[in-house]
Amino acid sequence: MTNQSNQTGWNFDNSYSRLPEPFFSKLNPIPVQDPKMVIFNDALATSLGLHGQELQQEEGINVLAGNQVPEGATPLAQAYGGHQFGHFNMLGDGRAILLGEQLTPQGERLDIQLKGPGRTPYSRGGDGRAGLGPMLREYIISEAMHALGIPTTRSLAVVTTGEPVYRETVQEGAILTRVASSHIRVGTFQYAAAWGSKEELTALADYTIKRHYPNVYEDDNRYVSFLKEVIKRQAALITKWQLVGFIHGVMNTDNMTISGETIDYGPCAFMDTYDPGTVFSSIDRQGRYAYGNQPPIGGWNLSRFAETLLPLLHEDEEKAVEIAQDAISIYPELFKSNWLDGMRAKLGLFTKEKEDESLIETLLELMQKHRADFTNTFRGLTLENLQDNPLSENPKFEQWYELWKTRRTRQQQSKEESVQLMKNTNPAIIPRNHRVEEALAAAEDDGNLSVMGKLLGVLSNPYDYEENESTYCTMPDPLGKAYKTFCGT
């Protein structure tokens, strides 16, 4: 492979490659036969300082397919461990290669990673490739999450490879270009703690603090401050998931970023009918990562992160454990506070009253009992139109509705301000699972990207109550089979 001239706007630095060698393996992507552009994110490219038109030409496509290494890149696969459904394993980038870190015109440092570029030393017997459907799915969901205001990795492009991928069926091979604040995970720290030296753990921690939490680097105990900051950021992230009914599906510690961005859109989905026990993932047979379990699993994952930092928190192990436990103890309260604030906003409440939690819980209980749609219920409350909602003629809901209307009068803000708060908080549109599948089927089976293009356009303005199309708000056919998602590996 040869470096190309920098007509495309790449401005790489490769600070991760300057960490101790055990954290990665340097290697180039494996070239593919016949790469072709499927979808490209022009707006994201511009924000990255890239020249989108050039990237969609032959040389640019070759970079996004792994056939050429762009100027200044140092391709590598990252090593990490992780608790997968509770069991700890040695993992690593089995089908991803980090090209480098793009320094943007705004002064940001963002990872540019290829997903599906071939085997790495961490592939564990896998082929290192990806199918077109799962890569388009990540593109759709990650961009929808961004539009919803939820911290997330982004998708720059999907290219096909001209080669088949063998899973349950034969699929068209594809490569996704993923953009992230970084790909440092809880699992990266678990790897350092399990197989590295204290010096290597310290190097990783100092690097991560400087990159993501520079405000605490000069603190008396930067590692305690670091732990607390990660806890805050994860509590905020998982709150945002819960408030829109997003189910990650595979909250293993290797899928939990230290930056606080959502990563890995394999078996994820958005909840239709409200039920805390909702699981979509085909591999989550025990419901470990069900919607209602996501907040406590977040705390469990953070406890595993805290364990990795024990040697840095205090030289006395007992004292270190005490410090870690004190830090972790704030998570449940922090999450609940965030969640209550978010739910108040969804109900148009600016102020706090002690009875608010009961008001919220009563609504959710009614929604669960009567199988009401999560998104459409809050959309209906926002528009004061619950005509087609199963709650609409329920006496207990009518009682709740009167209590809610009275509660809204006990604040200085006007009803119009309350409604605007609800519009800013309750999405009118989410990536409904059946709509996502419809778009993927059209793209995979017929090569028709127009369905996906229209869906992406609608999802780019999820809080737009004036222009949204009602067809994208409808629930799936209740007679359809239970929706399942798959990780794509």
Query: What was the pLDDT predicted at 478?
Result: 65
Q: Residue 189 has which token pair? A: 């720290």
10 Å Cβ neighbour count for 470? Answer: 8
66 in helix, strand or coil?
A: coil
- The torsion defined by the Cα of 379, 380, 384 and 388, in degrees rounded to 10, comes to 160
Identity of the amino acid at 186: V
Q: CA–CA separation, 52 vs 57, rounded Å?
A: 9
Considering Cα of 287, then 292, then 298, then 299, what sign does the dihedral take?
negative
Banded model confidence at residue 448, pLDDT cuts 50, 70, 90 = very high
10 Å Cβ neighbour count for 311? Answer: 16
Is the pLDDT at 312 greater than 50, yes or no?
A: yes
Q: Give per-residue burial for 52-79: e unless 16+ CB within 10 Å, then b.
A: bebbbeeebbbbbbbbbbbbbbbbbbbb
The closest alpha carbon to 180, from 104, 292, 235, belongs to 104
Query: What was the pLDDT predicted at 473?
Result: 86
Query: Over the chain, what is the mean pLDDT?
Result: 94
Q: CA–CA separation, 331 vs 338, rounded Å?
A: 10
The closest alpha carbon to 147, from 373, 431, 477, 440, belongs to 431
Map tokens 């790495």 to a residue: 120
Instruction: Quickly list DSSP for 28-49.
Output: PPPP-SS-EEEEE-HHHHHHHT
Q: Give per-residue burial for 472-487: e unless 16+ CB within 10 Å, then b.
A: bbebeeeeeeeeebbe
Query: What was the pLDDT predicted at 15?
Result: 98
**What is the 3-state secondary structure of 118-155?**
CCCCCCCCCCCEEEHHHHHHHHHHHHHHHHCCCCECEE
Q: CA–CA separation, 367 vs 398, rounded Å?
A: 13
Banded model confidence at residue 5, pLDDT cuts 50, 70, 90 = very low
Q: CA–CA separation, 425 vs 416, rounded Å?
A: 14
The closest alpha carbon to 154, from 110, 118, 107, 100, belongs to 110
Identity of the amino acid at 365: E
Q: How far does Cα 41 stand from its chain's mean position?
A: 18
Q: Which of 25-29, 388-392, 424-428, 480-484 has the lowest mean pLDDT?
A: 480-484
Q: What is the mean pLDDT of residues 266-284?
A: 89
Query: What was the pLDDT predicted at 286?
Result: 80
10 Å Cβ neighbour count for 330? Answer: 14
Banded model confidence at residue 3, pLDDT cuts 50, 70, 90 = very low
- pTM assigned to the model: 0.95
Q: How far does Cα 375 stand from its chain's mean position?
A: 19
10 Å Cβ neighbour count for 149? Answer: 14
**pLDDT tens digit string along 320-351?**
999 999 999 999 999 999 999 999 999 999 99
214 in helix, strand or coil?
A: helix
Identity of the amino acid at 323: I
Beta-carbon contacts of 304 under 8 Å, excluding residues fewer than 6 positions away, are 83, 186, 190, 253
Query: What was the pLDDT predicted at 388?
Result: 86
Q: What is the mean pLDDT of residues 442-460?
A: 95
**pLDDT tens digit string along 73-132?**
999 999 999 998 889 999 999 999 999 999 999 999 999 999 999 999 999 989 999 999
**pLDDT tens digit string along 466-477?**
866 778 888 887
Q: Residue 420 has which token pair? A: 């605007």
Q: CA–CA separation, 435 vs 453, rounded Å?
A: 12
Q: CA–CA separation, 45 vs 35, rounded Å?
A: 19
Tell me if 275 sits within 8 A of 374, measured CB to CB: no
Which residues are tagged catalytic?
254
Size of the chain in residues: 489
**pLDDT tens digit string along 127-183?**
999 999 999 999 999 999 999 999 999 999 999 999 999 988 899 999 999 999 999
Is the pLDDT at 486 greater than 80, yes or no?
A: no
Q: Give per-residue burial for 171-194: e unless 16+ CB within 10 Å, then b.
A: bbbbbbbbbbbbbbbbbbbbbbbe
Identity of the amino acid at 208: T
Tell me if 153 sits within 8 A of 180, measured CB to CB: yes
Query: What was the pLDDT predicted at 488?
Result: 53
Q: CA–CA separation, 51 vs 45, rounded Å?
A: 7
Instruction: Quickly list DSSP for 438-459.
Output: HHHHHHHHH---HHHHHHHHHH
Query: What was the pLDDT predicted at 1?
Result: 40
- Among residues of the chain, what percentage have pLDDT more than 90? 89
**pLDDT tens digit string along 362-419?**
999 999 999 999 999 999 999 999 988 999 989 999 999 999 999 999 999 999 999 9
